Structure 1
Amino acid sequence: MMWMFWLLGSIVAFHSLSCTHSHLCPKKCVCEHTKSVQCFRIQAVPSGLSLDVRKLNLAYNHIKEIKGRDFTGLSDLQEVSLSSCGVELLEINAFLPQTSLRVLDLQKNKLRHVPRGLPSSLEVLRVGHNHIHGLQGVAFEGLHHLRVLDLQSNMITVLRANTLSALVKLECLYLDGNRIETVNGALRLPQLNLLSMTSNRISSLSSALFASLQSLRTLQLSENLLTRLPHNLPRALLHLSLDRNKIRTLRNRDLAQLRNLTVLSVSANKVSSIDGGLRLPNLTSLELSGNQLKVLPGRLASKLETLDCRQNALQEVTHQHLSGMRHLKHLFLENNTIRHFEAKALRNCFQLTNLALEQNLLTSIPEGLPDTLVRLDLKQNRIDTIQEKEMRTLKRLQVLNLRNNHLSSLSLAVLAHLPRLQRMFLGGNPWNCSCELLRVKHRLMVRQVDIGEELCVEPAPTLGDHWRASLLEQPRCINDAAEDTDYSGPEEQTENEEYYDYDV
């Protein structure tokens, strides 16, 4: 009899627990153990939430107004997302009782001001993509633990540095995509690690701005109106991005203090000279594409691994330009007017794996290229022959792009120097489909080399009777090629043989 009472009690308890759990998870919401809640198609903050909820995701709903009573009793809240809700008004002190709140996401709404009265526990505040026109210091009072502040894509026109002075632990500040023209005062943010102000209207920056940013590692100022490098950049900088400005020259005296800098990007400016070289001993990546350089920069750091000088006005490449780059791996020189490439110009580049020379004015493949090369791009030059001596050092080459040149023939002897070749692009050349070329094609197929489009399958308009003759010769050529079996498969690839797999 007792077991019946025990069973009945268990059923009642289970039913009670189920009802309670159902009550704690509001309609149109999904609850995970009541501590993580996500709601859909709602127009107000749901009531009846479990008091121990920690993560509340209300993104992509239709909530125009947030009031303090919406979160009454939810003292354990740690993360709240209200992004893309159409929020127009957030009541002052609405989140102040949530003393455990660490992350507040209010992106993509219609807020005109940064919310006031936020809890001091807050570490991440995202209010990007709103209608904020200006910043008031009162909104940041008490936020002594804030690490990330995202204000991108608003309508801010002036940044007054003192409005952020309360944020003593701020590490990342995003101000991209605003309308900032002026930055007044010094940013006194001792722990700031990243400052991003891309896509604004900044034409100059005061040297005082950076005076107290001794921890700054990343500075992003791309897509502004700067005509020169800012003065007194922080010595701790590792990454500096100045793409798409109006900078005309790079002066060593403006960069001399940046001895820790590893990445410098000044692409799509108007740089025509680099005064005094760049004495940046730890620089590993230099991006100068889309400028007006006529000469490769000299005296660059020996640690440099990537040099990008695409889309400039370079006319030649000499050993003098590149003699000190012992660690260079990637050299991009496409879209220039290079006619002269000195033999063995890269002889000191002992680790070079990628060389991009497409869309230049070369009439031959440069001699004495490093034996470390894995990818060589020569598309759209004026090359009319390939000689064995040009290929002898390229034992590790895996990708060779020769599209849109003036080539009419290719010998088997050339392929013998390319044992690791995997991809070879030959389209857009005026090939003479001779027996020799058909043998080359057969050898490439046997070696399973990807040649992109088919080679010698349609007559060229200018070949006439010669094409018909070549058609008659094809069976004999193919039979001869089939007897050629001195190929044992590709050599093994080593770990260091990496290359950029960009468009061909």
Structure 2
Amino acid sequence: MWFTFVLLQLLPQFALGARCPNRCVCDIKGSAICTGDITDIPPLDPTTTFQLVLNDTNIKILKDRSFQPFSLLLRLMIINSPLDTIQPEAFHGAPQLLSIKLSLTALSVFPPKVFSEQRNLEQLQLDGNRITSISSDLFEAMVNLTELNLSKNRISQLDANVFQGLTKLNYLNLADNQLRNLPRTLFHNLLQLRSLMLSSNQLETLESGSFDHLSNLLILMLHKNKIREIPPRLFWPLPFLSTLFMSANQLRYIPAESFYYLPNLIKLTIFKNPLISLPYQLMGHMPRLQELYLYETNLSTVPWNLFANMTNLVTLNLHFNNKLTSLPKNLFCCLPKLKKLSLKYNNLQELDPELFSNLASLRALMLNENKLESLPSAIFRNSSRLETLDLNNNHLRYLPGDVFLHAIALKDLSLSGNKWICDCSILDIAEWIRENPELISDLDKGVTCYEPYRLEHHPLQTLTYEELHCGVLQTTFIATSAITTGAPATTTLQTSTATTSTRATNAANATTTATTPTDASLLFPTSEHIYVKQGNGNDNGLVFYDTIVLDNGPEIVHNNHFNAWVYLWTVPSTGPYSGFMMALYIVLLVSGVVLIVIILYALYRLHKVILLSGEVAMGENQRILTRI
């Protein structure tokens, strides 16, 4: 029984094999694939052949009624062959065909009526041939055609009526031809068109109204042409357009309001155009836009509201604009869902502290290959989801030590190829690098000092106070034993010089004292320096990350916070200058008291004079009344 079952299964295959010509492979589903040295249509079984594929054969001519015997044939493919001639009635007698593919052949012309019986044809692919022109009545009978591919030919012009009868067409590919212009009414009858490919031609202009009747169009490809200008409102009749490619053209200007009334747009590319400027009224409401590519232009800046109507934007590529020197403060104001922002290979020299403040979803930020010299300390304060940050090959000289404090999700940071100046201001970021080496992907590729010469190529993470001469020698420490007994402590500091400022990474939280500490753990004596820990004792605050050095002994009388620095104001505790200041203070105090007494006496005398004058006036009035 098992043998019988297998035999019954294989019997149709054996029968097919017996009737399948040499150099062809036939299957039970009715498909025949023929290759090799075949010069004519092979004699296949017309009662079982539904699909015929002639791939890589030597067929050079299709004779009249070549497919008439195949009454059940629905799909025909002739690919990669030297076919160069089609007789006028080659497809006559095969009206049932649904799909014809003649690709990668030597065909240059078609007889005008060759497809006159193909009323049922749905798909016609003529790509990769040598066609130079199309007869205006070639597609006249194809009332049910939905897909037409004429790409990768040599067509230089089209008659205005060539697609007039294709009212059901939803896909038209004219890419990779030599079209220089398009008749204004060329697409007016294609009311069902969904995709229109016009890329890689020689188009220089587009006439106003060219797309006026394509209200169902979803995809429009105009990239890789020579378009120098577009008429105003060209895309307004395309309310359902989801993809628009305008890249790699010759546009220097784009008319105002060009991208209005495109609420369904998802992807827009306008890169590789020599754009000089963009109008403020360019982008309309685009709530579904997710990808925007604007790079390789001549823009020096962009309008602040360019992306304001793109609230669902996820990817923004604004890079390779070598003349782009600045970005408006509110440029990224309205992109709450943006995850990837590329600003690499621009000419940016500085960034506003608020530039990224509204990008709460940002995951990847590319700032490499610019001319940034530093970054504001608060620029990433709202970037808690930032994972990848590329800053390599800029002109960075230093960074604030707390610049990455709020980027808690950071996993991949690039810092190489910059011009770090290794002085005392670099210590904070050097300390951060030393504590977070696993976050820096290019630590071994050149995160090193650029200046001064003596520290050139010195790794930032190994810098010390001593190497940068930020400390002062010969500082002594004397403390009474009362510190350990709980009694009030007495501390004496003596130094050879005094510093006027101490670098802090979070000045708002810095509270440091150098006199009479109540906790002995605040002071650590060494042979040459006194190191004072951060005042709040909280390692998470990282005010000074580890320690600071106070280099002077006089009493600190005041501190000031400014631009992430803590200024410590001091006066000498002894000496003639101190005595002079005290004497001056007393003189000023006494002078002030004397002046106050004089003023009070003058006010008292003035009050007496006013009262006396009032009494005299009243007496005079009474005498006058008595006489009357």
TM bracket, shorter-chain basis: 0.7 to 0.9
| Match of residue 71, structure 2, among 88, 113, 120 | 120
Cα distance change of structure 1 residues 221 and 418 upon mapping to structure 2, 3 Å threshold: same
Aligned match of 1:261: 217
Between stretches 329-338 and 310-319, larger displacement belongs to: 310-319
Aligned match of 2:483: none
Aligned match of 1:39: none
Q: How far apart are the structure 1 equivalents of 2:158 and 2:33? A: 35
> 1:297-337 CA distances to partner (integer Å, 9 max, x unpaired)?
53333222222111001123343011343443222110001
Contact 1:302/1:326 (8 A) holds in 2 = no
CA shift for structure 1 position 137: 4.1
> 1:182-217 CA distances to partner (integer Å, 9 max, x unpaired)?
211320211111111111111111122111111111
Contact 2:310/2:335 (8 A) holds in 1 = no
Cα distance change of structure 1 residues 412 and 121 upon mapping to structure 2, 3 Å threshold: farther
CA shift for structure 1 position 125: 1.0
- Structure with higher Rg: it is 2
Percent identical = 24
Aligned match of 1:90: 40
Structure-to-structure mapping, 1:345-364, within 5 angstroms: 345-360=306-321, 361-364=323-326
Does structure 1 residue 371 correspond to structure 2 residue 371?
no
Q: How far apart are the structure 2 equivalents of 1:201 and 1:106? A: 24
Contact 2:203/2:227 (8 A) holds in 1 = yes
Q: How far apart are the structure 1 equivalents of 2:15 and 2:53? A: 21
Name the SS of the counterpart of 2:110 in structure 1: strand
| Match of residue 290, structure 1, among 248, 268, 271 | 248
Q: Which amino acid aligns with 1:88?
A: I
Structure-to-structure mapping, 1:281-430, within 5 angstroms: 281-297=239-255, 298-300=257-259, 301-303=261-263, 304-360=265-321, 361-368=323-330, 369=332, 370-372=334-336, 373-430=338-395
Cα distance change of structure 1 residues 411 and 447 upon mapping to structure 2, 3 Å threshold: farther
CA shift for structure 1 position 114: 3.7
Cα distance change of structure 1 residues 200 and 134 upon mapping to structure 2, 3 Å threshold: same
Structure-to-structure mapping, 1:32-51, within 5 angstroms: 33-34=9-10, 50-51=14-15
Aligned match of 1:164: 115
CA shift for structure 1 position 472: 4.6
Aligned match of 2:32: 80
Aligned match of 1:218: 171
Aligned match of 1:232: 186
Aligned match of 2:470: none
Aligned match of 2:103: 152
Q: How far apart are the structure 1 equivalents of 2:326 and 2:411? A: 23
Higher relative contact order (CA 8 A, sep 6+): 1
> 1:227-260 CA distances to partner (integer Å, 9 max, x unpaired)?
1124431222111111111111122322212122
Name the SS of the counterpart of 1:203 in structure 2: coil
> 1:368-412 CA distances to partner (integer Å, 9 max, x unpaired)?
212332221111111122332111111111221111001232355
Q: How far apart are the structure 2 equivalents of 1:327 and 1:319? A: 20
Q: Which amino acid aligns with 1:371?
A: L
Does structure 1 residue 101 correspond to structure 2 residue 49?
yes
Q: Which amino acid aligns with 1:315?
A: I
Q: How far apart are the structure 2 equivalents of 1:197 and 1:177? A: 8
Aligned match of 1:44: none
Q: Which amino acid aligns with 2:30?
A: Q
Cα distance change of structure 1 residues 91 and 226 upon mapping to structure 2, 3 Å threshold: closer
TM-score (normalizing by structure 2): 0.62
Q: How far apart are the structure 1 equivalents of 2:452 and 2:91? A: 77
Q: How far apart are the structure 2 equivalents of 1:224 and 1:120? A: 35
Q: Which amino acid aligns with 2:48?
A: S
Q: How far apart are the structure 2 equivalents of 1:54 and 1:376? A: 63
Q: Which amino acid aligns with 2:100?
A: L
Structure-to-structure mapping, 1:188-199, within 5 angstroms: 188-199=141-152
Name the SS of the counterpart of 2:79 in structure 1: coil
Contact 2:357/2:380 (8 A) holds in 1 = no
Matched positions, count = 430
Name the SS of the counterpart of 1:34 in structure 2: helix
Contact 2:82/2:106 (8 A) holds in 1 = yes
Cα distance change of structure 1 residues 485 and 217 upon mapping to structure 2, 3 Å threshold: farther
Aligned match of 2:412: 450
Cα distance change of structure 1 residues 199 and 469 upon mapping to structure 2, 3 Å threshold: closer
Contact 2:131/2:154 (8 A) holds in 1 = yes
Q: How far apart are the structure 2 equivalents of 1:126 and 1:485? A: 72
Q: How far apart are the structure 2 equivalents of 1:123 and 1:485? A: 75
TM-score (normalizing by structure 1): 0.76
Q: Which amino acid aligns with 1:144?
A: P
| Match of residue 463, structure 2, among 459, 469, 473 | 473
